[in-house]
Chain A
Amino acid sequence: TQLLEQSPQFLSIQEGENLTVYCNSSSVFSSLQWYRQEPGEGPVLLVTVVTGGEVKKLKRLTFQFGDARKDSSLHITAAQPGDTGLYLCAGARRTDSWGKLQFGAGTQVVVTP
């Protein structure tokens, strides 16, 4: 059973459309992070959210952390082909003193011109 559930698993959209990716859990996290991964490479951090209800914007990307710190979403406005990649959410649970980072299964996003 995945600690962090991501949905959808796969998303294919046209350039210019909007998309939202969700990351949900029954556990409370001290922080949640979003990464993007290109094929054959390691994931690269996009953002870290720490405070419940927090909203962060990174150009066309908007990240939200749920009030209860159990879920998060990533919204991309006017998607571009360069946004194509595997989007992963990751979190460290409050009960985990070692700061282990657990990952969701990922959402594969494909943006076609």
Chain B
Amino acid sequence: SQTIHQWPATLVQPVGSPLSLECTVEGTSNPNLYWYRQAAGRGLQLLFYSVGIGQISSEVPQNLSASRPQDRQFILSSKKLLLSDSGFYLCAWKVAMNTEAFFGQGTRLTVV
């Protein structure tokens, strides 16, 4: 069966510090991978998506970047965090056009 792991679950970082959130998927090959950010009680904003190793598409200009060094590994990074980067970050994977997305448990990031 397929599983998705996302860590850490909670993170408190000072402004200006770097960020690295990791997401790995098990039990499937060549998944489409996604990073979303969610404001409290609101919908999900698509940040990045990837359809293959080394391929990253960015949806919105921002202080973040993403990388896919391996088929089932997706990393969200920042060199210098801003207060506005605080939020709930979700990693997800899906296989094909009309299939469901499977989400990780999310990372609550607070920038102080």
Given contacts A98-B57, A101-B34, contact A42 B105 (CB under 8 A): yes
- If A103-B43, A105-B42 are given as contacts, then 15 extra A-B residue pairs at C-beta distance below 8 Å, sorted by A number, are A31-B98, A43-B90, A43-B101, A43-B103, A44-B103, A48-B99, A50-B98, A88-B43, A92-B98, A98-B57, A102-B46, A103-B46, A104-B43, A105-B43, A106-B41
A: which residues have CB within 8 A of B?
2, 6, 30-31, 33, 40-45, 48, 50, 86, 88, 90, 92, 98-106, 108
| B97 touches A (CB below 8 Å) | yes
- Which residue of chain B has its CB nearest to the CB of A31? B98
**B45 — which chain A residues lie within 8 A by C-beta?**
103
- Number of B residues contacting the other chain (C-beta, 8 Å)? 27
> What is the distance, in angstroms, from B22's C-beta to the closest C-beta of chain A?
15
Is the beta-carbon distance between A98 and B43 smaller than 8 angstroms? no
Report the separation of the CA atoms of residues A41 and B90 in the bound assembly, to the nearest whole angstrom: 9
B: which residues have CB within 8 A of A?
32, 34, 36, 41-46, 49, 51, 57, 59, 90, 92, 94, 96-101, 103-106, 108
Is the beta-carbon distance between B49 and A98 smaller than 8 angstroms? yes
**A50 — which chain B residues lie within 8 A by C-beta?**
98
**B106 — which chain A residues lie within 8 A by C-beta?**
40-42
Q: Max chain A CB contacts within 10 Å: which of B41, B49, B57? A: B41
User: Which of B49, B92, B98 is A30 in contact with, Cβ under 8 Å?
Assistant: B98
Is the beta-carbon distance between A101 and B90 smaller than 8 angstroms? no
Given contacts A42-B90, A42-B105, contact A48 B41 (CB under 8 A): no
Report the separation of the CA atoms of residues A103 and B37 in the bound assembly, to the nearest whole angstrom: 11
Report the separation of the CA atoms of residues A101 and B43 in the bound assembly, to the nearest whole angstrom: 12
Report the separation of the CA atoms of residues A77 and B100 in the bound assembly, to the nearest whole angstrom: 24
